[in-house]
Amino acid sequence: MTVTARAATGAATADDQPMTHRQVMEALSGLLLGLFVAVLSSTVVSNALPRILADLRGGQSAYTWVITATLLTLTASTPIWGKLSDLASKKLLLQIALVIYIASSALAGLSQNTGQLIACRALQGIGAGGVTALAQICLAAMVPPRERGRYSGYFGAVFALATIGGPLIGGVIVDTSWLGWRWCFYVGIPFALAAIAVLQRTLKLPVVKRKVKIDYLGALVITGAVSLLMIWITLAGKNYAWLSWQTAAMVGGGLVLGALAVVVEKRAVEPIIPPDLFRHRTVALAALASVLVGVGMYGATTFLSQYFQLAREKSPTIAGLMTLPMILGLAVSSTVAGKLITKYGKWKVYLVSGTLMLAIGFGLLGTARADTPYGLLSVYMAITGIGLGLTMQNLVLAVQNTVPRHELGAASSVVTFFRTMGGAMGVSALGALMSNKVGHYLAENLAAAHIPATGAAAGGGIPDLHKLPAPIVPLVTDAFGHGVGVVFLMAAPFALLAFVTVLFIRETVLRTTQQD
């Protein structure tokens, strides 16, 4: 199918009329609002899920799918949104993504059972994927790479606020009796509406008109390959063994579809993920580093929340507040690094130091136990947050500085795509590891205390510490403290591999102008 691509209404009419700093900041406010709600949708439910599933009578399987459904569709749709942004109006696509987010959020809040909630969360992921990818693409279209650094820092700060602050917001909502868990989904709607209004007034991008052909077959095959692999790693170890016929079928099917996607994309006139992108050394290495960083990034937010609630016996609200050192570390480092990158034009040093600090931070968090002093934990979290802040946005920046302007959308979305995919797979695999380790340590604690492993003491799920017998509570908190520590220890090698990967990225000074 052939269509005509056209940029947003009211856009500037020439590439040689760049937006002023004031215009960029005005448009950036709308982009940041959109990014905030998109990231918030993935994190706000983490502390609220036990309450939500108790109300909707959902089990452990539903717990997994409420989170996974969003990550699955977010990951699969990201490259599609990115490619469409190279072909059509970025502004219009971003507003469409926000509308999808608003509609799905409202429906999720009205859900009467877990099936409806999971379906709405899947739709929410499509909208969030569009907003996440398109926000960075729009920034790349507004300013040249050299100037992009300082603005990217704001993206990192907002990403930190939504990623780490989401569990806090969700905790406050479920702890507030007159709100209730449904407001975890409603809370982002006003921000999304405001983002649409601000973007309509402020976002002005150059007009582009050209005939294009949408690669529907490529989109279908890529989505199928990613979905199969993500469903496999989400269910493996829970619904079936890692070594089983189901694993063979899903992994084999995913690899076959992946190979088919390569063939289809090579032949497509307008491929969703252009294979030529990976001929750029920086793009290939940044994609690999993004997978490795994603494992740690999503793992940190997911398992820290469980640590503070189940190992330290804190409420959802307090658990969110206790992660503030990571929020501040991420926000400050991304902002400061962005300004320094704009000033000096160098970016590799931040990638190298960021991934190294991430590995160190995870290694230190790997020593955490239920009785670890909070002062030490604060230092460990701050180091981890600084590492994330120096790494996430700068991987995107490195890629954007490498590719020609007409491939900005596809290239930018590739980094987000691989980061989210790594995060989704990492959370699932590390979650399975934690469940196994917690069960092992709890069995050891019960045996040492001569308490039979029956009923609530047997583990196997997410316990309500307030309903357990008093003698068992310290045994459970100790098991969770030790189990989460092991998870962070296992995440450290992924960050170390990311460090080795970025060492091989070749630095080029950031361009001071846009180029085709």
Helix H or strand E encompassing 205: none
Distance (Å, rounded) from C-alpha 453 to C-alpha 438?
Answer: 13
Please report, as a single letter, which amino acid is at residue 261: A
pLDDT on residue 413 = 76
Q: What is the pLDDT of residue 14?
A: 40
Going by the DSSP 8-state scheme, the letter that residue 48 receives in this structure is: T
pLDDT of the residue at 482: 92
pLDDT in tens, 361-384: 999 999 999 999 999 999 999 999
The three-state secondary structure class of 110 is: coil
Q: What is the pLDDT of residue 18?
A: 65
Q: What confidence score (pLDDT) does residue 4 get?
A: 45
Residue 506 makes CB contacts below 8 A (sequence gap 6+) with 281, 282
Give the span between the Cα atoms of 139 and 173, in whole angstroms. Answer: 32
- In the chain, what is the straight-line distance between the N-terminal and C-terminal CA atoms, in Å? 26
User: Whole-prediction pTM value?
Assistant: 0.79
Residue 222 token pair: 């890529």
| pLDDT confidence of residue 209 | 53
2, β-bridge pairs: 213
Distance (Å, whole) CA 103 – CA 189: 9
How far apart are alpha carbons 354 and 124 in whole angstroms?
A: 31
CB atoms within 10 A of CB 239: 11
Q: Answer for the pair 170, 302: CB distance below 8 angstroms, yes or no.
A: no
Q: What pLDDT was estimated at residue 6? A: 43
- State the Cα–Cα distance between residues 453 and 447, nearest whole angstrom: 8
Q: Please name the amino acid found at residue 515.
A: Q
List of the chain residues with pLDDT < 50 = 1-16, 516
Name the β-bridge partners of 140. none
* Confidence at residue 462, expressed as pLDDT on a 0 to 100 scale: 66
Q: Are 392 and 297 in contact (CB under 8 A)?
A: yes
Q: What is the CA radius of gyration of the chain?
A: 22
* Residues 350, 391: Cα–Cα separation, whole Å: 7
Which pair of structure tokens corresponds to residue 345?
């034009």
List C-alpha distances in Å: 114 to 45, 71, 83, 118, 130. Answer: 14, 17, 33, 6, 25
Contacts of 367 (CB under 8 A, 6+ apart): 485, 489
> Mean pLDDT over all residues of the chain?
82
What's the confidence (pLDDT) of residue 349?
93
